[in-house]
Amino acid sequence: MRYFKNLVKPYIAWTAVMIVIPIFMMLLYSITNSGNSLVNIQFTFENFKRFTEPVYLSVFIKSIKLGLITVVICLVLGYALAYIISQFKESTQGVLILLVTIPMWINMLLRTYAWISLLSDNGIINAFLDKLGIGPIKMMYTDFAVMIGQICDFLPFMIIPIHTSLSKMDKSYVEAAYDLGANPVQTFFKVVFKLSIPGVLNGIIMVFLLSISTFVIPKLLGGGQYVLIGNLIESQFVSVGDWNFGSALSIVLAGIILFAIKWMKKIDTGEN
């Protein structure tokens, strides 16, 4: 056993260098002024105070709102798909899940660009609508476009955990519910859904986490004026160059996500 224990050491080193130290650096950046030298560090809460300014606060609220809507739509679509897939025989299920994951093999940027050519004013959808005599509908650079992009990108992350919990569920629970007089609808809500809650919560966490921190999708489909937390953080680091404020924003975002996960886990253990 001692021999195997040593095998852990490289991972500990890896985690320290690649995760713990960067997080510590971020923390340090977030509570210091810009232009500090290591010899003369000035601590400040200015960066966090800036976050409460209405401009930034509204970005956060917008991001959370959009994240929640994405989660809800993904949950409804994803649960239905996962449930339908879980009704097939096992070998077919494998193929269907593969199909669900295939889009994930393609670079996210490419997938998002594909949406631009579909949704833009002279894109494929509008060309089709034009043929039908319906005037061009503005879809690019709207909430709708950003949401479509997010939902399509993140849906597999909802389907897979739900499918996992549905497919490993013992079929005898369903039979037992039927046996005790529950019709298919009652069986679904009183047994199947309740037992799949762990998968549902995992899916919610995944999709919320991804959609609240994304910056590529709103940038491409929402346009330059469309700012979510992800974009805000990106611009602080890349264009503005205010690493301190960017770090503070990242820390706040991480805090929100951590809180959301904690809360979800609490629901999970409360249910069982």
**Near other proteins by CB under 8 A: residue from 13, 55, 80, 176:** 176
The interface with other proteins within residues 192-231 (CB under 8 A) comprises 194-195, 197
> Rule CB under 8 A: is residue 173 a binding residue for other proteins?
yes
- Binders of other proteins in range 133-172 (CB under 8 A): 170, 172
Q: Which residues of 210-241 are buried (b: 16+ CB within 10 A; e: fewer)?
A: bbbbbbbbbbbbbeeebbbbbbbbbbbeeeee
Angle of helix 243-271 relative to helix 197-213, nearest 10 degrees, comes to 170
Query: Is 71 a binder of other proteins (CB under 8 A)?
Result: no
- 215 close to 234: Cβ distance less than 8 angstroms: yes
Rounded least distance, CB 82 to other proteins, Å: 18
Interaction of residue 90 with other proteins, rule CB under 8 A: no
CB-wise, 9 or 89, nearer to other proteins? Answer: 89
177 binding other proteins? (CB under 8 A) = yes
Q: Is 190 in the site for other proteins (CB under 8 A)?
A: yes
Give 130 or 271: the residue with its C-beta nearer to other proteins.
271
Determine the Cα–Cα distance for residues 204 and 2; give it in Å rounded to an integer.
39
Contact 62, 56 (CB under 8 A): no
Closest separation between CB of residue 199 and other proteins, Å? Answer: 13
Label residues 142-162 b or e (16+ Cβ within 10 Å = b).
beebbbbbbbbbbbbbbbbbb
Report the b/e string of 88-115 with b at 16+ CB within 10 A: eeeeebeebbeebeeeeeeeeeebbeeb
Q: Which is nearer to other proteins, 90 or 170 (CB)?
A: 170
Nearer to other proteins, 121 or 271 (CB): 271
Q: Hey, is 32 helix, strand or coil? A: strand
Size of the site for other proteins (CB under 8 A): 20
Report if residue 122 touches other proteins, rule: CB under 8 A: no
Q: Under the criterion CB under 8 A, does residue 178 sit at the interface with other proteins? A: yes
The answer to whether residue 175 forms part of the interface with other proteins (CB under 8 A) is yes
The CA distance from 216 to 154, in Å, is 13
- Indicate the residue among 42 and 186 with the shorter CB distance to other proteins: 186
In Å, how far are 28, 89, 103, 254 from 43, measured between CA atoms? 9, 61, 46, 21
State the minimum distance, in angstroms, from the CB of residue 262 to other proteins.
Answer: 21
Backbone angles phi, psi at 87, to 5 degrees: -85, -15
Give whichever of 112 and 165 is closer to other proteins, judged by the CB atom.
165
CB closer to other proteins out of 138 and 168: 168
- 3-state SS class at 233: helix
Residues of this chain that bind other proteins (CB under 8 A): 170, 172-173, 175-183, 186, 190-191, 194-195, 197, 271-272
